[in-house]
Amino acid sequence: MTLPAAADLSFDIASLHAAYAAGLSPAAVLAESFARHKAADDPAMFLYLRDLDEAQVEAAALPAFDAAAYPLWGVPFAVKDNIDVAGAPTTAACPAFAYLADEDAFVVAMLRKAGAIWIGKTNLDQFATGLVGVRSPYGVPRNAIDPLIVPGGSSSGSGVAVARGIVSFSLGTDTAGSGRVPAALNNIVGLKPTLGALSASGMVPACRTLDTISIFALTVADAHRAFRVACAYDAADAYARPIAAPPLAPVPPTLRIGVPDAATREFFGDAAQAEAFAAALDQLRGFGCEIREIDFTPLYQVAQMLYEGAWVAERMAAIEPLFRSNPEAIHPTTAKIIGGADKLSAADAFRGFYRLADLKRAAEPMLAGLDLLCVPTIPTFYSLADLEADPIGPNSRFGTYTNFVNLMDMCGIAVPTGPRSDGRPGSVTLLARAGQDGLAAALAQQIQQAAHPVLGATGKPLPVAAAPVGALAPGEAALVLVG
């Protein structure tokens, strides 16, 4: 193939690796990455940008291109700033909390060993508390699609950086939906792994029993590739679990997919979102899936427990020394939310667990016959002005279809479904049982291929190479692009 210019690439990994195979240098890609960041002119996106020369030294030291041995060879990525990268500060978007990380988080180290090159640490809702992206003293990253809309959070900078094609993928974290809501708002993929699949070593906890590192990417194939690299059992993380991460397999012919029934399908008046979701379900039916409407009430009851139950106390446990000694160092909205923990006794915490156990048990019969759930990733869109007017309400509504997921021990992946009737990005999330990350991703890939949307805000289409599920080895992608 002709050597493509880095500036012409969308930075999805299939395109990048095809270009590397054709002779493009990682130096050119890194330079383009930094140029795109500069062009974005968004000082709130990254809280720490790596020195380009230092990144270039690392790129120059890569072994010969070998996508089989190094599945992330030369792939630029960004890291949410509640995850450690050696030598960089970790702030969790709270200057008073900041520390210099001695070593890479377990997951970051795995990604770098596979050839990925980090370029910076991204902004977030402080302490990963929020789904909006406006709760940071470092400003609000600009939504990559529409600057009037919030970027989503808490992984705001990580979502925006991928959507703009500055990096191929990024790390977020996801407790209540922080790895999915920004994906929907920025027209990208958000993979929320099974709890414990990715080590939390080197990550600032939000709710330690409900946290996971998550992955944003332009394509499902890329998100799943990074997931497979990062998914390794870490005995040093007491909440790590051994979870298998096999390659994407073809989607089983008939999947039974639960969706909210008419009475529990909630869009807060957004007809375009309702229509886009209905269209996505029609598409799933077209794939041969059986769509089953279920009553989501038990799942919404679970969701309510995340902030109204005892789990907010985990957020307090994570930052209590700072909260007690220097409360004014904390974002006022964040402090208000986390301060709610002070009303909760240990007995309240246990009552919360009992109620969750009862709700999970009650939901079991409903979920038993289903392979997956499909939900709108977000019920509607909220603007910066909406959040100015009410910092809490829109945030809560963003979590309608995300808050229950980790409490239910499900995994999920948010995937673009193409533009809605009004041009805003459509997105659904597929949810599966713990350990079924691959099943959710396989169907998500089919959805993305069928929608064939432009990638993020790059204006570039899904590459052909990503099309046949599981049919291409990394080394073969270049040949398809040539053809």
Euclidean distance between the first and the last CA atom of the chain, given in angstroms as a whole number: 9
Q: Which of 61, 64, 262, 347 binds a second copy (CB under 8 A)?
A: 347
Note whether 346 binds a second copy by CB under 8 A.
Answer: yes
Cβ proximity to a second copy: between 107 and 280 the closer is: 107
Q: Mark the segment that binds a second copy (CB under 8 A) among 47-55, 76-84, 267-275, 340-348.
A: 340-348
Q: Which of 51, 103, 364, 476 binds a second copy (CB under 8 A)?
A: 364
Cβ proximity to a second copy: between 43 and 369 the closer is: 369
**Shortest approach of a second copy to residue 406 CB, angstroms?**
15
- The two three-digit tokens of residue 168, written as one number: 């191929």
Binding mask 23-62 for a second copy (x = CB under 8 A): ----------------------------------------
User: Scanning the structure block, which residue is given the tokens 């949410």?
Assistant: 80
Distance CA 55, CA 261 (A): 50
Q: Are the C-beta atoms of residues 212 and 197 closer than 8 Å to each other?
A: yes
Tell me which DSSP letter residue 310 carries.
S
Note whether 320 binds a second copy by CB under 8 A.
Answer: yes
Q: Mark the segment that binds a second copy (CB under 8 A) among 82-90, 173-181, 222-230, 352-360.
A: 352-360
Note whether 341 binds a second copy by CB under 8 A.
Answer: yes
Residue 178 designated active-site: yes
- The two three-digit tokens of residue 427, written as one number: 């997105």
**Shortest approach of a second copy to residue 147 CB, angstroms?**
38
Least Cα distance to 189 among 138, 241, 234, 248 occurs for 248
Note whether 336 binds a second copy by CB under 8 A.
Answer: no
Tell me the Ramachandran region of residue 109: left when phi exceeds 0, alpha when psi lies from -120 to 50, beta otherwise. alpha
Total residues binding a second copy (CB under 8 A): 29
- The two three-digit tokens of residue 21, written as one number: 């195979």
Judged by CB under 8 A, the chain residues 181 through 210 that form the site for a second copy are 208-209
- Sheet of strand 410-419: strand arrangement: 46-49, 117-122, 76-80, 169-174, 212-217, 189-192, 410-419, 425-433, 372-376, 256-260, 290-294
Note whether 241 binds a second copy by CB under 8 A.
Answer: no
Judged by CB under 8 A, the chain residues 426 through 465 that form the site for a second copy are none
Q: Which of 51, 282, 348, 422 binds a second copy (CB under 8 A)?
A: 348
- The two three-digit tokens of residue 56, written as one number: 């270039």
Distance CA 53, CA 74 (A): 15
Main-chain phi, psi angles of 192, to 5 degrees: -105, 100
Q: Are the C-beta atoms of residues 144 and 42 closer than 8 Å to each other?
A: no
- The two three-digit tokens of residue 310, written as one number: 């005892």
Note whether 330 binds a second copy by CB under 8 A.
Answer: no
Q: Which of 35, 58, 295, 351 binds a second copy (CB under 8 A)?
A: 351
* H helical segments located in 64-149: 106-113
Which position among 80, 121, 136, 192 bears the catalytic label? Answer: 80
Cβ proximity to a second copy: between 83 and 312 the closer is: 312
Distance CA 454, CA 199 (A): 32
**Shortest approach of a second copy to residue 354 CB, angstroms?**
6
Q: Mark the segment that binds a second copy (CB under 8 A) among 143-151, 180-188, 219-227, 316-324.
A: 316-324
Distance CA 157, CA 369 (A): 38
Residue 80 designated active-site: yes
**Shortest approach of a second copy to residue 360 CB, angstroms?**
7
Cβ proximity to a second copy: between 99 and 350 the closer is: 350
Note whether 349 binds a second copy by CB under 8 A.
Answer: yes
Burial 293-305 (b: 16+ CB within 10 A, else e): ebebbbbbbbbbb
Which position among 15, 155, 158, 178 bears the catalytic label? Answer: 178
Report helix, strand or coil for 98. Answer: coil
- The two three-digit tokens of residue 441, written as one number: 């991703």
Distance CA 237, CA 5 (A): 42
Q: Is the peptide bond before 154 cis (omega within 30 degrees of 0)?
A: yes
User: Scanning the structure block, which residue is given the tokens 């240990």?
Assistant: 346
Note whether 310 binds a second copy by CB under 8 A.
Answer: yes
Cβ proximity to a second copy: between 61 and 346 the closer is: 346
Note whether 368 binds a second copy by CB under 8 A.
Answer: no
Cβ proximity to a second copy: between 221 and 312 the closer is: 312
Q: Which of 64, 68, 235, 262 binds a second copy (CB under 8 A)?
A: 235
Binding site for a second copy (CB under 8 A): 208-209, 235, 238-239, 310, 313-314, 316-317, 320, 341-342, 344-354, 357-358, 360-361, 364
Active site residues: 80, 154, 178
